[in-house]
Structure formats: structure tokens, C-alpha cells
């Protein structure tokens, strides 16, 4: 039987039905990158090995999730969470993920406070294409210092809480660097294709306004800061990795031009009115560093949404 897909939304809907979204997302990623550029035989072998690891990890994760949910069901007298259904609220904010009944297309039904996750209007991430040069966009002023961070693994995502001190000046307002998230592959796409990884730096103003700086990552020359983190990743929820004197400037590309649009946070509760700044130039790191993240968190991306009537500007400085 021939199955024809007309777009990414149809692919993710089909994946949600059969509950193996992580593997399909990763498959799309590798296929797209292979089409976009020629790769060596050794690179093909590396991707093949990573895919096998992903399949093994997926089975292990499904088994672990089943055991966890069965334990929760046995200990609860009034409510079962082993078979989630749309509209059924979950007691803890952590009951969401990227596959099965916890996948992004179910977030709005898992918790009524996450209703904005069910909207298709002004959401993030997006496919970046057709941007327009905006002369009003000014140079980003990064005031990053050497700081500390505590990395954890939550909701299939390596994320870190960052010590205060680093900030960005944006439109005359200070936005403090608060958290960092690592995505594999990238959540934002450029001209239809994802990158191998995306690093999202969360900033918050005194008015609690969010500014997200996104750095796209591809394979190439080693990055000392990414290699440092990749070599010491947390492997389970209560595994906390403390890092001292991380130079956050090392995560940024040399060229500081960027795309800018207004969207949402890409995790529950999908907060609105989030300013996204996506650096136009990617950074590089070794393929083995990215592989370490993939093996720990697999695919942890929300599907892309239409830009709609929103403006997508591009800076020239």
C-alpha cells in the first residue's frame, strides 16, 4: 500500500498514532542532512550506528515508561495514569514528553493550564525561510561572564540552571540569562531542514518577559564548551552535574547576525509573547559530542508551526 504525505504536520500526526515519534523525527533529520550535503562513507557508517543505538534506546525507554506508569497505577487508589486519555489532567507538571500519549500534540489535553499548547497560531518553533532584512534590528549586546550551571535531565531534555550575572541588552532593557536547553535535532528549521542540534538560551527581564537566543549546531571543528558538557551529561532525573566557570560566550558564533520573530516557549505551558532570536551562523562541534546528547535524550523537539502573518526579520549587524 502506498502512503503519501503532503507535509510535516501529516507526518507527526501519523507518528503520534503509532507512538514512535522519536525514531521518525531522527530519521527525517538524518535523511534531510544526507540530501543537503554529500557525506563520506565513514559518516554514513556513524549515522547508521547512531540509528541502531536510537532503536535500542527507544525500546528501553518504552519499557521503563511502562514500568513507571504501572507502579504509579498500583500506588494510586483513585486515579490511573497508565492509560492517559485526552482531557485527563495530570497531577504533576512533569507528565509530558515527546512520544506516545505524552507527545506534543497531547500537551493541551494533559493539563488544562497548558491550553495554549493546542493552538496553531503564533507558536514556536518555525521553519525559517523568506525572511526580510530589517534595518531597525540592532546589534545584540551580549554581556556574558564565566558562570556556574547545574545540569539535569528532565522531560528527555538536558537543561541547566545558570548562575546570575550574564545578560543581554535588548531594546534598552536587561534580560538575564537564566537557563539553557539542548535539543536534538534542532527545533527550528532553515529552508525546510533541521540542524544536528540546537542550544536555546533563556533570558528573562525584570517584567518576566522571555527572550530566547537560539544557536544552531552542526558537525565540524570541536567546541570546547560543548565537548565539556557532552563528556559529563546527566543520565537520569536525579543525576545533577555541576559546572563551574563555563564561558557562555563560547556558545555563540563569531558572526552575531540573527533572525527575529515573536512566538511561544516550546515546552508546556507554551507561554505566548516570547521573543525568539535565532543566530544566522551555526557553531560546530565534533559529531561524537552530538551523539552523546542523542543517546541520552534522543529526539526532543516540538513540531514546526506556520509563521502565519508574523514578521520574520533578519539583522545585518
pLDDT value at position 237?
82
| Residue 21, pLDDT above cutoff 60 | no
Question: Is the pTM above the cut of 0.75?
Answer: no
At 32-87, the pLDDT tens digits run 444 444 445 555 555 555 555 555 554 555 455 444 444 433 333 333 233 333 33
CATH 3.10.200.10 corresponds to the domain 127-314 = yes
- CA 157 vs CA 88, 132, 217, 295: distances in Å: 24, 32, 16, 11
3-state SS string over the chain? Answer: CCCCCCCHHHHHHHHHHHCCHHHHHHHHHHHHHHHHCCCCHHHHHHHHHHHHHHHHHHHHHHHHHHHHHHHHHHHCCCCCCCCCCCCCCCCCCCCCCCCHHHCHHHHHHHCHHHHHHHCCCCCCCEEECCCEECCCCCCCEEECCEEEEEEEEECCEEEEEECCCCEEEECCEEEEEEEEEEECCCCCEECCEECCEEEEEEEECCCCCEEEEEEEEEECCCCHHHHHHHCCCCCCCCCCEEEEEEEHHHHCCCCCCEEEEEECCCCCCCCCCEEEEEECCCEEECHHHHHHHHHHHCCCCCCCECCCCCCCEECCC
At 231-276, the pLDDT tens digits run 999 998 889 999 988 889 999 999 999 999 999 999 999 999 999 9
Domain residue spans of the chain: 8-118, 127-314
pLDDT value at position 44?
55
Amino acid at each position: 500500500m502506498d502512503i503519501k504525505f503532503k507535509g510535516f504536520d501529516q507526518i507527526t500526526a501519523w507518528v503520534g498514532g503509532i507512538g514512535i515519534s522519536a525514531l521518525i523525527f531522527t530519521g527525517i533529520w538524518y535523511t534531510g542532512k544526507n540530501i543537503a550535503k554529500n557525506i563520506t562513507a565513514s559518516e554514513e557508517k556513524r549515522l547508521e550506528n547512531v540509528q541502531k543505538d536510537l532503536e535500542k534506546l527507544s525500546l528501553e525507554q518504552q519499557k521503563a515508561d511502562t514500568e513507571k506508569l504501572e507502579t504509579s497505577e498500583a500506588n494510586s487508589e483513585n486515579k490511573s495514569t497508565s492509560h492517559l486519555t485526552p482531557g485527563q489532567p495530570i497531577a504533576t507538571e512533569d507528565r509530558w514528553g515527546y512520544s506516545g500519549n505524552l507527545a506534543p500534540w497531547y500537551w493541551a489535553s494533559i493539563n488544562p493550564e497548558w491550553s495554549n499548547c493546542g493552538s496553531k497560531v503564533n507558536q514556536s518553533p518555525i521553519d525559517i525561510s523568506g525572511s526580510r532584512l530589517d534595518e531597525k534590528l540592532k546589534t545584540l549586546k551580549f554581556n556574558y561572564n564565566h558562570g556556574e550551571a547545574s545540569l539535569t535531565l528532565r522531560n528527555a531534555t538536558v537543561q541547566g540552571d545558570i548562575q546570575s550575572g550574564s545578560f543581554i541588552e535588548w531594546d534598552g532593557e536587561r534580560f538575564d540569562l537564566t537557563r539553557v536547553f539542548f535539543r536534538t535535532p534542532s527545533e527550528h528549521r532553515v529552508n525546510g531542514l533541521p540542524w544536528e542540534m540546537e542550544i536555546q538560551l533563556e533570558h528573562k527581564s525584570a517584567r518576566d518577559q522571555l527572550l530566547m537566543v537560539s544557536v544552531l549546531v552542526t558537525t565540524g571543528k570541536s567546541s570546547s564548551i560543548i565537548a565539556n558538557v557532552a563528556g559529563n551529561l546527566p543520565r537520569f532525573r536525579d543525576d545533577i552535574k555541576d559546572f563551574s566557570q563555563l564561558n557562555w560566550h563560547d556558545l555563540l558564533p563569531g558572526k552575531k547576525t540573527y533572525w527575529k520573530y515573536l512566538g511561544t516557549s516550546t515546552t508546556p505551558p507554551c507561554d505566548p509573547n516570547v521573543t525568539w532570536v535565532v543566530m544566522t551562523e551555526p557553531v560546530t562541534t565534533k559529531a561524537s559530542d552530538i551523539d552523546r546528547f542523542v543517546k541520552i535524550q534522543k529526539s526532543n523537539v516540538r513540531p514546526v508551526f506556520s509563521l502565519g502573518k508574523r514578521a520574520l526579520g533578519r539583522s545585518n549587524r
